[in-house]
Amino acid sequence: MIAAPVHLLGERLMLCPSGALHWPAERTLVVADLHLEKGSAFASRGAMLPPYDTRETLQRLSLAIRRHGAKRLVLLGDSFHDGAAAGRMAPEDRSALERLCAGLEECIWVSGNHDAEHGVAEWRRRKLVFRHIASDVARSEAELSGHFHPKATMPTRIGGITRPCFLLCANRLVLPAFGAFTGGLNVLDPAMAGIARNAVRVFLIGDARLHSAPFDALRRAAA
Amino acid sequence: MVEAAQAGRSALLIAPTGGGKTLAGFLPSLIELAETPAEGLHTVYVSPLKALAVDIARNLSAPIEELSLPIRVEARTGDTPANRRARQRAAPPQILLTTPESLTLLLSLPEAREMFGGLRRVVVDEAHALAGTKRGDQLSLCLARLESIAPDMAVAGLSATVNHPDALREWLRPGGDVTLVRGAGGAPPEIGVQLPAGRLPWGGHMGLASAPEIMARIAQAGVTIVFVNTRAQAELVFAALWRLNDAALPIALHHGSLTIEQRRKVEAAMAAGTLRAVVATASLDLGIDWGAVDQVIQVGAPKGVARLLQRVGRANHRMDEPSRAFLVPANRFEVIECRAAIEAVAAGELDGDPPRPGGLDVLAQHVLAMACHAPFHPDALYEEVRRAGAYAELSRRDFDDVVRFAEDGGYALRSYDRWRRLFRDAEGLYHIRGDGVARIVRMNLGTIVDTPLLKVRMRGGPMLGEVEEWFITTLVPGDAFLFAGQVLRFEGMNGVVAEVSRGSASDARVPTYAGAKLPLSTHLAARVRTILNDPKRWRELPSEVQDWLRLQSLRSRLPGSDDLLVESFPRGGRWFMVAYGFEGRLAHQTLGMLATRRMERLGWGPLGYVATDYVLAAWMAFEPGDAAEIFTEDLLGEELEEWIAESSMLRRTFRNIATVAGLIEKNHPGQEKTRRQMTVNSDLIYDVLRKHEPDHILLRATRAEAASGLTDVARIAALLSRVKGRVVHRRLRRVSPLAVPALIEQGREWVPGGAEDDILAEAAALVNDVTDGAERFNETLAELTDEIQVRPAVDQDRSRFGRPERRRQARRRA
């Protein structure tokens, strides 16, 4: 696993092929959009999806924390698929989550649109602001957010290859969704046009490393 | 037939098209009802086509009215209006004509037992087309249920000539006494080949080069059916004929995406004899006899001998006269294929496999449907299900797991107790949880997993039919496309309907359909190989085809009779390797799995492959080494389990199974986009389930179904041992004449593994290497794509990005 370094206002951030972001200076791991209990949300409506998505997501998360030796975890919202999701967790998954949090010095839950009643609206550290949905950023700050589940199509000699991605803009970074049952939205979708206005680069998630391309290259290839 | 029926026995009638099968199927019912009139449902007729049920209802009504028999005949399909359905539930007709889907729905109703209690006969039309498919599985389960409700009923199967009549008998009624009745064979058909006067194309499946010749044949004959293989081809051939139709002959178009009204109109005009020709897809393969069809023209290679016979049999439905047909090959290779097909017909050879065991996904749907009817006891339902031909071998373990799946998903982690769809009472009976669940179950009955479709309507005019939604999303208002036999201009979406007006653009696009992508076996490989191997026989072929074969021996060589010719060449930014195995599509499909696994281990970066009856063509990211490294006897020892599980074939199979079993929602036409975004990608579900519960019933079902598409290990072993030391690898600068048809073949498989990552790394490295970044990226990419050559020529002036060393470097970095 090879992480890719990016810099926002002088802060060195490591983008990981797992879809998490590591901030070494703060021993902090950042993840977005876990959508825990998405499977059971479907089950309650009659579609009996495998009840293992929470387990899978937590296993991946715990692996990422251990790999980087993180002391703090920041969850950028939509950690739970809905307001009642925490109550639906299987006992072993709940205790796995409790163990995971207990192993950390700090756990910051930013609230999302799916789990609005859970966590803080935003969190700040040094010059970075952590939110669910990207919005206005002061000149002196840079922003980390989730929500859009960005994915991108890289032009290659065999045609386009699509993967979830990190989207790096001049003053912000959008993280891919971390949850096991989460899909993606193309970074060129009109819904992301506002965010991508000053986009610089995308980092597509590969098996063991990230593959980066200038945002303009995607835009031109799609045209 | 009547004898068997009067003795109360079941029967299977096998006769070529035109033998008056359908009438024979009804005769015993009509006789019995005329002699002893009775109220209540007497006969259920099931056909694979809605249209067929409706047509037969109409055709039967006429003689019944003439003879003023006290018999009511009605059709019941998905298109039957609600008020008539309600009436049918209250007072069923004596003869009901329906489809497997509608029959399942009727059996899921609480009053099913009363409705079918007095049933005497079931007629299964086109049984050969149902047995071995998921719709056939569904029907098979319905037959078992009907037998439980009305134990004395007899089953009458009607089938075209098949390879496995005994297996079909068992399928109709396992262990039952099914009398085999064979219709008299008619005169052997006369089949010719029609070539274009102009140049015969190398590739392409459309056959448009022969449009003038087809038009001339239509003008010479009374009534012609022009059969094609896909809907897109139907649109193109129809448009081509229409351009040449100076005499304004009445020619119509018929395919499955046109509205029912449209199709009905064409069928009626055909029956009335007011049409000179109709261009049709498989939508006219089955169905009522048209009477006065003088000739059949098949454009493109016939896909299978049985299918060819069925189509040819559409011409001249008189037993004493031969059917007349012409095959129109679309490319040079198809000339050889057509020749082989005609030989196979003359030799009386049939293709097709015996019906496979029923799918567990269909069973899951059936279990829920039966719970909607009434509470069931698992022991009793298991006994009943095993009386279905397709499930005679079902194990109790599989059955119990299917019931558990229907209950709450059947996961080892039992966390869905609260939302279970079935609950069990103190006596061990399973009940459906409520009306809401029952409604969802009934809404999702059926085994056809459709890609989402959108209706197409002429602005201010009638509906024209349905087009796949993805095609519409690629259009912007003003774009022209060819549909329903005319050039249409896309005006925009109106709700969930695509509105169009008449267009005129010459560059109109043609919608394609996922259904057209199914690869088909022709079972003609051995005959084709014989023709290729024997230059003396080339004299039977047109001179252009002879030239083409000579060019092949010049550029590469011809496949020998006991060696394995393998060609490799660069094309479109990748490397291709084509192996001429001639072992049939299934064997090549398996060979594709094995070969790409080894290519992956050798670091060639395999990306995908396509298997045809004749060849295996694989493509890869890097220049392949020696083919002899791949096709060795120990290839069968490759560790494949994980490889196959990751393959696109398994993922596709899982998606279908999960949809039929009700795990993921069906795409209802015109569903709102926001709703679809709420669904979970089946690949993600597959990955999570495989990791956490690899033995789940749906994964077992997926593996079982995929196994039926991956057989013939023995054939591969024989091939590998035969060609040991005789693998002839030709490295070419470009595609060889013989390889062209394979490269345009449908049904490509994608290979899992790291090659995609390698390519991504390479593309990313390219961008980083180019200092001016984005500006030159696309140009560099284009250079790279054109740059791949057979041998790295050091003295050539080449871009530094195109060197193989750099590509390998990019790989190692990955």
**pLDDT tier for residue B163 given thresholds of 50, 70 and 90:** confident
- Mind listing the pLDDT tens digit for each residue in B381-411? 999 999 999 999 999 999 999 999 999 999 9
Q: What is the pLDDT of residue A73?
A: 96
- Mind listing the pLDDT tens digit for each residue in B70-93? 889 998 887 788 888 888 888 899
CA torsion sign for B773, B778, B779, B785 is: positive
Nearest residue to B125 via CA among B73, B154, B160, B149: B160
Q: What is the pLDDT of residue B793?
A: 29
**Pairing mode of beta strands B73-76, B324-328:** unpaired
In a domain, B535, yes or no: no
Residues 616-635 of chain B with CB under 8 A from chain A are: 621
**pLDDT tier for residue B754 given thresholds of 50, 70 and 90:** low
Q: d(Cα B482, Cα B56) in Å, to the nearest integer?
A: 32
**Domain end call among B750, B782, B804:** B750
**pLDDT tier for residue B19 given thresholds of 50, 70 and 90:** low
Average pLDDT over residues B479-486: 84
Q: Is B785 on the interface with A (CB under 8 A)?
A: yes
Q: What is the pLDDT of residue A190?
A: 86
Closest A-chain CA to B419: A44
Which one has a higher pLDDT value, A155 or A105? A105
CA distance A105 to chain B (A): 30
Helix (H, G, I), strand (E, B) or coil at B318: coil
Which residue's entry shows tokens 């994964």?
Answer: B699
| C-alpha of B803 from chain center | 43
Which residue's entry shows tokens 């059969």?
Answer: B227
User: Do the beta carbons of residue B417 and residue B425 sit within 8 Å?
Assistant: no
Q: Looking at the structure, do residues B466 and B603 belong to the same domain, yes or no?
A: no
- Mind listing the pLDDT tens digit for each residue in A38-62? 999 988 888 899 999 999 999 999 9
Q: What is the pLDDT of residue B731?
A: 94
Q: d(Cα A130, Cα A40) in Å, to the nearest integer?
A: 28
User: Do the beta carbons of residue B326 and residue B295 sit within 8 Å?
Assistant: yes
**C-alpha distances out from residue B729 to A221, B13, B152, B567, B732, Å:** 37, 51, 64, 6, 10
In a domain, B448, yes or no: no
Q: Testing the interface with A: which of B476, B684, B785 to mutate, by most A Cβ within 10 A?
A: B684
CATH number of A4-222: 3.60.21
Percent of chain A as helix, strand, coil, to the nearest 5: 25, 35, 40
Res. B189: pLDDT tops 90: no
**C-alpha distances out from residue A200 to A196, A215, B347, B429, Å:** 8, 5, 67, 62
Q: Looking at the structure, do residues B608 and B626 belong to the same domain, yes or no?
A: yes
Q: Is A189 on the interface with B (CB under 8 A)?
A: no
Using only C-alpha atoms, chain A has a radius of gyration, in whole angstroms, of: 17
Which residue's entry shows tokens 């983008």?
Answer: A15
User: Do the beta carbons of residue B15 and residue B127 sit within 8 Å?
Assistant: no
Nearest residue to B47 via CA among B99, B95, B11: B99
What is the percentage of chain B residues whose pLDDT exceeds 90? 29
Residues ≥6 apart with Cβ < 8 Å to B113: B149, B373, B374
User: Do the beta carbons of residue A175 and residue A30 sit within 8 Å?
Assistant: yes
**Pairing mode of beta strands A11-15, A21-23:** antiparallel
Res. B787: pLDDT tops 60: no
Which residue's entry shows tokens 């004596």?
Answer: B94
Average pLDDT over residues B748-773: 69
Q: d(Cα A222, Cα B217) in Å, to the nearest integer?
A: 46
Residues ≥6 apart with Cβ < 8 Å to A32: A75, A76, A77, A78, A132, A145, A146, A147, A175, A176, A177, A178
What is the percentage of chain B residues whose pLDDT exceeds 70? 86
CATH number at residue B234: 3.40.50.300
Res. B797: pLDDT tops 60: no
Beta strands, E only, B160-260: 178-182, 190-193, 224-227, 251-254
Q: What is the pLDDT of residue B89?
A: 86
Q: Looking at the structure, do residues B176 and B198 belong to the same domain, yes or no?
A: no
Q: Looking at the structure, do residues B15 and B149 belong to the same domain, yes or no?
A: yes
In a domain, B21, yes or no: yes
Q: Is B433 on the interface with A (CB under 8 A)?
A: no
CA distance A83 to chain B (A): 16
- Mind listing the pLDDT tens digit for each residue in B459-479? 888 888 888 777 887 777 888
Res. B791: pLDDT tops 50: no
Q: What is the pLDDT of residue B307?
A: 81
Q: d(Cα B812, Cα B155) in Å, to the nearest integer?
A: 65
Q: Looking at the structure, do residues B461 and B553 belong to the same domain, yes or no?
A: no
Q: Is B686 on the interface with A (CB under 8 A)?
A: no
Which residue's entry shows tokens 């064997």?
Answer: B587
The letter for the amino acid at B246 is: D
Q: d(Cα B632, Cα B721) in Å, to the nearest integer?
A: 8
- Mind listing the pLDDT tens digit for each residue in B290-300? 667 889 999 98
Which range of residues forms the domain containing residue B650? 544-750
Which residue's entry shows tokens 């392409």?
Answer: B204
Q: Looking at the structure, do residues B214 and B328 belong to the same domain, yes or no?
A: yes
User: Under an 8 A CB cutoff, do A183 and B756 touch?
Assistant: no
User: Under an 8 A CB cutoff, do A220 and B814 touch?
Assistant: no
Closest A-chain CA to B696: A50
DSSP secondary structure code for residue A19 in this structure: S
Q: What is the pLDDT of residue A200?
A: 86
Which one has a higher pLDDT value, B206 or B673? B206
**pLDDT tier for residue B50 given thresholds of 50, 70 and 90:** confident
Q: Looking at the structure, do residues B744 and B761 belong to the same domain, yes or no?
A: no
Count of other CB atoms within 10 angstroms of residue B722 = 11
- Mind listing the pLDDT tens digit for each residue in B540-596? 888 888 888 888 988 899 988 888 999 999 987 889 999 998 888 888 888 998 899
Average pLDDT over residues B688-713: 87
User: Under an 8 A CB cutoff, do B680 and A181 touch?
Assistant: yes
- Mind listing the pLDDT tens digit for each residue in B397-453? 999 999 999 999 999 887 788 888 999 999 999 999 988 889 888 888 888 776 667
User: Under an 8 A CB cutoff, do A217 and B440 touch?
Assistant: no
User: Under an 8 A CB cutoff, do A48 and B777 touch?
Assistant: no
Residues ≥6 apart with Cβ < 8 Å to B32: B5, B42, B120
User: Do the beta carbons of residue B328 and residue B194 sit within 8 Å?
Assistant: yes
In a domain, B534, yes or no: no
Res. B792: pLDDT tops 50: no
Q: Is A163 on the interface with B (CB under 8 A)?
A: yes
Q: What is the pLDDT of residue B716?
A: 85
Q: Is B777 on the interface with A (CB under 8 A)?
A: yes
Q: d(Cα B157, Cα B11) in Å, to the nearest integer?
A: 6
Virtual torsion, Cα B92, B96, B100, B103, nearest 10 deg: 10
Res. B804: pLDDT tops 50: no
**pLDDT tier for residue B773 given thresholds of 50, 70 and 90:** very low
User: Under an 8 A CB cutoff, do B777 and A214 touch?
Assistant: yes
For chain B, the average pLDDT equals: 82
Q: Looking at the structure, do residues B505 and B617 belong to the same domain, yes or no?
A: no
Q: What is the pLDDT of residue B20?
A: 66
DSSP secondary structure code for residue B203 in this structure: S
Which residue's entry shows tokens 């789990």?
Answer: A115
Q: Looking at the structure, do residues B199 and B321 belong to the same domain, yes or no?
A: yes
Res. B808: pLDDT tops 50: no
- Mind listing the pLDDT tens digit for each residue in B633-684? 888 877 777 888 888 888 888 988 998 998 887 655 444 444 434 568 888 9
For residue A164, list its beta bridge partners: A151
User: Under an 8 A CB cutoff, do B762 and A154 touch?
Assistant: no
**Domain end call among B152, B182, B212:** B182
Q: d(Cα B471, Cα B453) in Å, to the nearest integer?
A: 9
User: Do the beta carbons of residue B300 and residue B327 sit within 8 Å?
Assistant: no
DSSP secondary structure code for residue B793 in this structure: -
CB-nearest partner of A154 from B418, B685, B763: B763
Q: Across the A/B interface, how many CB contacts are shorter than 8 Å?
A: 143
Q: What is the pLDDT of residue B800?
A: 31
Residues of chain B with Cβ-Cβ distance to A163 below 8 Å are: 760
**Domain end call among B750, B776, B797:** B750
CA distance A38 to chain B (A): 9
pTM score above 0.80: yes
In a domain, B526, yes or no: no
Q: What is the pLDDT of residue A203?
A: 94
User: Do the beta carbons of residue B532 and residue B582 sit within 8 Å?
Assistant: no
Q: What is the pLDDT of residue B678?
A: 57
Q: d(Cα B481, Cα A5) in Å, to the nearest integer?
A: 48
User: Under an 8 A CB cutoff, do B688 and A53 touch?
Assistant: yes
User: Do the beta carbons of residue B107 and residue B369 sit within 8 Å?
Assistant: yes
**Pairing mode of beta strands B727-731, B606-611:** unpaired
Nearest residue to A210 via CA among A181, A183, A173: A173
Provide the number of structural domains found in chain B.
Answer: 6
Nearest residue to B691 via CA among B413, B363, B421, B419: B413
Q: Looking at the structure, do residues B625 and B558 belong to the same domain, yes or no?
A: yes
Helix (H, G, I), strand (E, B) or coil at B500: strand
User: Do the beta carbons of residue B617 and residue B575 sit within 8 Å?
Assistant: no
Q: Looking at the structure, do residues B112 and B166 belong to the same domain, yes or no?
A: yes
Residues 70-89 of chain A with CB under 8 A from chain B are: 88
The letter for the amino acid at B654 is: F
In a domain, B533, yes or no: no
Q: d(Cα B658, Cα B698) in Å, to the nearest integer?
A: 7
In a domain, B523, yes or no: no
What residue segments make up the domains of chain A, in order of their start? 4-222
In a domain, B209, yes or no: yes
User: Do the beta carbons of residue B581 and residue B595 sit within 8 Å?
Assistant: no
**Pairing mode of beta strands B324-328, B190-193:** parallel
Q: Is B696 on the interface with A (CB under 8 A)?
A: yes
Count of other CB atoms within 10 angstroms of residue A37 = 28
Q: Looking at the structure, do residues B681 and B774 belong to the same domain, yes or no?
A: no
Beta strands, E only, B427-532: 430-432, 453-458, 463-468, 480-483, 486-494, 497-502
Q: In terms of C-beta density within 10 A (0-12 exposed, 13-18 middle, 19 or more buried), how is residue B789 classed?
A: middle
Q: Is A25 on the interface with B (CB under 8 A)?
A: no
